Amino acid sequence: MKFNRLGTTGLVASMALLAACATTDEDVVEVIETEPEIVEPVMSELDRAKMELEQNVGNRVFFGYDAYNLTADAQTVLRRQASFLTMPENMDIRVRVAGNCDERGTREYNLALGERRAEAAKAYLVSLGVAPTRISTVSYGKERPLDPASNPQAWAKNRNATTTIVETDMDMM
Amino acid sequence: MVFTWCGSRYESPSFLVRFPLPMLRQVFLAIVLTFLPAVSLAQVEIDITRGRSDPMPIAIPDYLSAEEPELAGDIAKVIRNDLSTSGLLDPIDQQAFIEKLTNINVTPRFADWRVIGARVLLAGEVLDLGDGRVQINTRLWDVVGNQQVASVAYKTPKENWRRAAHKVSDFVYTQLTGESGYFDSRIVYVAETGPKERRDKRLVIMDQDGANPQVLTEGLSYDVLTPRFSPDEQEITYLAFFEDRPAKVYVFNIETGSQREVGEFPGMTFAPRFTPGGDELLISFALNGNSDVAYLNPVSGRLRRLTNNPAIDVSPSMSPDGSRIAFASDRGGSQQIYVMDADGARQQRITFGEGTYGTPVWSPRGDLIAFTRQHRGRFYIGVVAPDGSGERLLTEAYLVEGPTWSPNGRVLAFHREEYPGAPVRLWAIDLTGQNLRRLPTRTEASDPAWSPRLN
């Protein structure tokens, strides 16, 4: 059916082209009647998991100034991360937890503080049953602010531990 | 006297010359001219330990040269700029000069220089030696005391004239202050480009006066932070910052352009600094949420722990005599500066002020420790004696961080963000707290490290 319609359009187009050649100085505007089919984006299991973590589970927990203790809110998000990571279909997923700081500290101290934050988040995930070998940590210190502004709202956003799914060969499906 | 050093080739003023650069070994000769006796300089002395005092007026005519007049003018320009930025000397406008020098070996008409307000006169000439080298002769005259203070001469390959000019500046500084200068030195720093959320950070080296900037790390997959020179100025240790794994201490060889990770350690290694002997690095290492201070051998990669404390211990810096180490720790609640023996014994807190203290850096003279202090939303650069006495804040801004000492211990360079969101730039200030000035860089810049005095 679709083929036929395309075929018809092709025929009409050829005829129009001939007509165009025959008539001088005349622009032919051709109407194509078929609409290309809408294709759903192809999502790998990995992409689906990343979307789930970022949009539904929550990939980021926040800290107080110069602090690395997990607030009740942070623990709630990490509990959701732990249940996500311990779902049977997600057992192959590995994550990296990155610790971040606001700009109010020296570069070197903030690298250490970011490491503390990442490790605090990791330790909590491990205590909830996620294998430590599935979690790597990294500190970005104050080098990768989420919000480059210099105000309390930006600083609050920038004091975080962010969990990211790591792409490994195993995950390429 | 023969000076040998590894200098970079000084060529076009264009920025971003790609590494590797030819790092030529060149021979540089200095002869102290003795045909006029050096005399006491009691009449022209500058006390650099005092606070605000008016800079001494100095006349520096363009150097004389039959063969190389342009070069002779450029040499005088570099010297004028060096001495002027030091804040100690004030070069007089050449338009005001009365006597026109034609021969530097003839005693000048002192009255002609006194009347325009000069205290000292620097007269020089450039001779083309015909073999690619030039000889640069300089006399420093006390125009009030009517006598020569001292004279000096250098032979150098022509393309190396800038270093010779800086050596003349050091000569003047030494003659007038009694201390060694810092003009013949270089500064390595981190050039910052791109948006604040995702900065590209590359290593750049330049002369102390901002000339000859050269990118040392180009096309690397990681950013470079906190560079520091080895005592022989041939290596730079820095932090390699990765997106996907913990940051690591690297060592970069200036001559070969090669860089390598030091040691194999599961966590992060950071805050590196060479010991004064240059055979070890002092670093911080982080594992399982705790940072401590350690030695890291740059050859074997062996890590030797110095502190073992659940608090954050970072930013070690050794005293020039190798006997003690300053570091920052938050073991007392807030981050403060501590000093310990070279083996980690006798860890003692030396700062007790409000706010936090970080990045202690021992002065090359050994008598002071510079630091970054943070208090009520402002950053400060200050100094304190190793026993904790005499704390003094030199400068403040929204952000000032990472002090580094000039090789003679009289000036501190650091990076500064004047107000929130302002461009990050390199600045310097004298130990007296005077003469705050910006160091010229083409891009935004941070983490300066001043080289030792070049040989």
d(CA B164, CA A110): 42
Q: Which positions 7-26 of A are in contact with B (Cβ < 8 Å)?
A: none
Give yes or no for B8 touching A (CB within 8 A).
no
- Contact of B398 with B420, CB cutoff 8 Å: yes
Q: Using DSSP bridges, classify how beta strands A135-141 and A94-100 pair: parallel, antiparallel or unpaired.
A: parallel
How high is the pLDDT of residue A35? Answer: 87
As for how many domains chain A has, the answer is 2
Of A3-7, A103-107, B395-399, the poorest mean pLDDT is in A3-7
Which site among A94, A97, A104, A106 would you substitute to test the B interface, given the most B Cβ atoms closer than 10 Å to its Cβ?
Answer: A106
d(CA B435, CA B406): 14
What lies within 8 Å, CB to CB, of B259 at 6+ separation is B217, B220, B240, B250, B251, B252, B253
Architecture of domain B186-450: 6 Propeller (2.120)
A35 and A76 assigned to the same domain: no
Distances (CA, A) of B217 to A67, B21, B159: 35, 11, 24
Taking an 8 Å cut-off on Cβ atoms, the answer to whether B372 and A106 are in contact is: yes
A26 and A64 assigned to the same domain: no
> Which member of A107, A136, A144 has the closest CB to residue B197?
A144
> Which member of A136, A139, A145 has the closest CB to residue B196?
A145
Residue B73, burial from CB neighbour count under 10 angstroms (0-12, 13-18, 19+)? middle
- Contact of B101 with B61, CB cutoff 8 Å: yes
A34 and A109 assigned to the same domain: no
Whether the link from the prior residue into B20 is cis, omega within 30° of 0, is yes
Q: Name the stretches of chain B with pLDDT < 70.
A: 1-43, 48, 50-52
How high is the pLDDT of residue A44? Answer: 87
Taking an 8 Å cut-off on Cβ atoms, the answer to whether B289 and A139 are in contact is: no
A119 and A143 assigned to the same domain: yes
What six digits make up the tokens of A114? 């970011």
d(CA B343, CA B304): 10
How high is the pLDDT of residue B51? Answer: 61
How high is the pLDDT of residue A126? Answer: 98
What six digits make up the tokens of B82? 């060096």
What's the pLDDT tens digit per position in A114-138?
A: 999 999 999 999 999 999 999 999 9
Give, in words, the CATH class of B2-177.
alpha beta
Nearest chain B Cα to A166, which residue? Answer: B244
A13 and A29 assigned to the same domain: yes
Taking an 8 Å cut-off on Cβ atoms, the answer to whether B289 and A68 are in contact is: yes
Q: Is the dihedral of CA B454, B319, B262, B291 positive or negative?
A: negative
- Contact of B411 with B190, CB cutoff 8 Å: no
How high is the pLDDT of residue A23? Answer: 52
Nearest chain B Cα to A164, which residue? Answer: B244
A98 and A25 assigned to the same domain: no
How high is the pLDDT of residue A41? Answer: 79
Which ipTM score applies to this complex? 0.88
Give yes or no for B246 touching A (CB within 8 A).
yes
Nearest chain A Cα to B314, which residue? Answer: A109
A33 and A50 assigned to the same domain: no
Nearest chain B Cα to A151, which residue? Answer: B420
d(CA B274, CA B297): 10
The CA radius of gyration of chain A, in Å to the nearest whole number, is: 27
Query: What is the domain range of residue A90?
Result: 45-171
A14 and A80 assigned to the same domain: no
CA distance A10 to chain B (A): 51
Give yes or no for A102 touching B (CB within 8 A).
no
How high is the pLDDT of residue B31? Answer: 47
Taking an 8 Å cut-off on Cβ atoms, the answer to whether A105 and B356 are in contact is: yes
Q: Which residues of A touch B195 (CB under 8 A)?
A: 148
Q: Using DSSP bridges, classify how beta strands B324-329 and B336-341 pair: parallel, antiparallel or unpaired.
A: antiparallel
Domain boundaries, chain B: 2-177, 186-450
What's the pLDDT tens digit per position in A47-87?
A: 999 999 999 999 999 999 999 999 999 999 999 999 999 99
A31 and A76 assigned to the same domain: no
A54 and A82 assigned to the same domain: yes
Residue A9, burial from CB neighbour count under 10 angstroms (0-12, 13-18, 19+)? middle
DSSP-derived 3-state class of residue A55: helix
A25 and A94 assigned to the same domain: no
Give yes or no for A164 touching B (CB within 8 A).
no
Nearest chain A Cα to B201, which residue? Answer: A143
A31 and A55 assigned to the same domain: no
